[in-house]
Amino acid sequence: MSRNKWGNRSLLTIAAVVLALSAGCSSSTSNGKNASSTPAVDTAKPKEKVTIKVWANTRHDIEVRESLIKKFNETNPDNIQIDYKVYSDNYDEQLKLALNAGKLPDIAYNISADLANADYPLDLNPLITPEIRKRFDQSALTAPPTSKNGELDRVFENVTNLKLVYNKDLFKASGLDPEKPPTTWQEMQQYAKQITASGGGKKFGLGLPIKQTVFWRYYVIYPAAVSGDIYGREGWNAATGKFDFSPFAKYVKWWIDVNKEGSVFPGVGNYDNDMIRAQFSEGNIGMLSAATWDIGVFNDQFPAKIDWAVADFPTWGGKVLGGPAYETASGFSINKKTEHLKEAQKVWEFFISDEMFVTLAKKGLGSFTNLAAQDKSIQPADRKGSEGFVINGKSTNYPMAPRLDYSVVNPPLKVGSIDIKKSGVVNDVMTELFIKGKDLPEIEKSLQELGDAFNKLTTANVEAKTVELKKYLQPDFKPLK
DSSP 353-374: SHHHHHHHHHTT--EESBHHHH
| Residue 47 confidence (pLDDT) | 78
pLDDT at 26 over 60: no
Q: For residue 159, how many other CB atoms are within 10 A of its CB?
A: 27
Does residue 54 have a pLDDT over 70? Answer: yes
**Residue 473 clears pLDDT 70, i.e. is over it:** yes
**Residue range 50-155+330-392 in CATH 3.40.50.620:** no
Length of the chain: 481
| Number of alpha carbons in the 13 Å side-chain half-sphere of residue 434 | 26
Mean predicted confidence (pLDDT) in 166-172: 98
Which helix (H) or strand (E) segment is 452 a member of?
helix 440-463
Say whether pTM exceeds 0.85: no
Please state, in angstroms and rounded to a whole number, the distance separating the CA atoms of residues 262 and 414.
32
Specify whether the CB–CB gap between 40 and 27 falls below 8 A.
no
Which of 282, 299, 273 shows the shortest CA–CA distance to 60? Answer: 299
pLDDT, tens only, 219-263: 999 999 999 999 999 999 999 999 999 999 999 999 999 999 999
Q: Which fold has domain 160-240+247-326?
A: D-Maltodextrin-Binding Protein; domain 2 (3.40.190)
Do domains 50-155+330-392 and 160-240+247-326 share one topology? The answer is: yes
pLDDT band at 383 (very low <50, low <70, confident <90, very high): confident
Phi-psi region of 200 (alpha: psi -120 to 50; beta: other; left: phi over 0): left
Q: What pLDDT is stored for residue 161 in this prediction? A: 87
pLDDT of residue 118: 85
Answer for the pair 105, 98: CB distance below 8 angstroms, yes or no: yes
Q: Is the pLDDT of residue 169 over 90?
A: yes
- Percent of the chain exceeding pLDDT 90 equals 71
Identify the band that residue 174 occupies on the pLDDT scale cut at 50, 70 and 90.
very high
CA–CA separation, 147 and 121 (whole Å): 11
Residue 267 carries which side chain, given as an amino acid letter?
G
Which CB contacts under 8 angstroms, 24+ apart, belong to 402-406? 402/145, 402/236, 402/458, 402/461, 402/467, 402/469, 402/472, 403/146, 403/467, 404/454, 404/457, 404/458, 404/461, 404/466, 404/467, 405/461, 405/464, 405/466, 405/467, 406/457
Tens of pLDDT, residue by residue over 191-216, are 999 999 999 999 999 999 998 778 89
Please state, as a whole number, how many other Cβ atoms lie within 10 Å of the Cβ of residue 433: 22
Domains of the chain by residue range: 50-155+330-392, 160-240+247-326, 414-470
CA distance 245 to 232: 11
112-152 pLDDT per residue, tens: 877 887 889 999 999 999 999 999 988 899 998 888 888 99
In angstroms, the CA 265 to CA 192 distance is 10
CA distances (Å), origin 148, targets 110, 145, 424: 17, 8, 25
E strand or H helix at 52, and its extent?
A: strand 50-56
225 and 481 in contact (C-beta within 8 Å)? no
Beta strands 325-329 and 396-397: pairing type?
Answer: parallel
Task: Give the pLDDT confidence of 262-282 residue by residue, as tens digits.
Answer: 999 999 999 999 999 999 999
C-alpha 379/C-alpha 266 separation (Å) is 35
pLDDT digits (tens, 9 = 90+) for 29-45: 333 333 333 344 444 56
Higher pLDDT, 175 or 21: 175
CA end-to-end span of the chain: 14
285, pLDDT greater than 70 = yes
Q: Are 311 and 388 in contact (CB under 8 A)?
A: yes
50-56 vs 80-86, strand pairing mode: parallel
Buried b (16+ CB within 10 A) or exposed e, 207-239: bbbbbebebbbbbbbbbbbbbbbbbbbbbbbbb
Higher pLDDT, 410 or 27: 410
Please give the pLDDT value at position 376.
Answer: 62
Distance from the Cα of residue 297 to its chain's centroid: 16
* Residues 372/375/377/379 CA torsion (nearest 10 deg): 170
Residue 130 has what pLDDT? 97
Instruction: Return the bridge partners of 166, or none.
Output: 287, 309
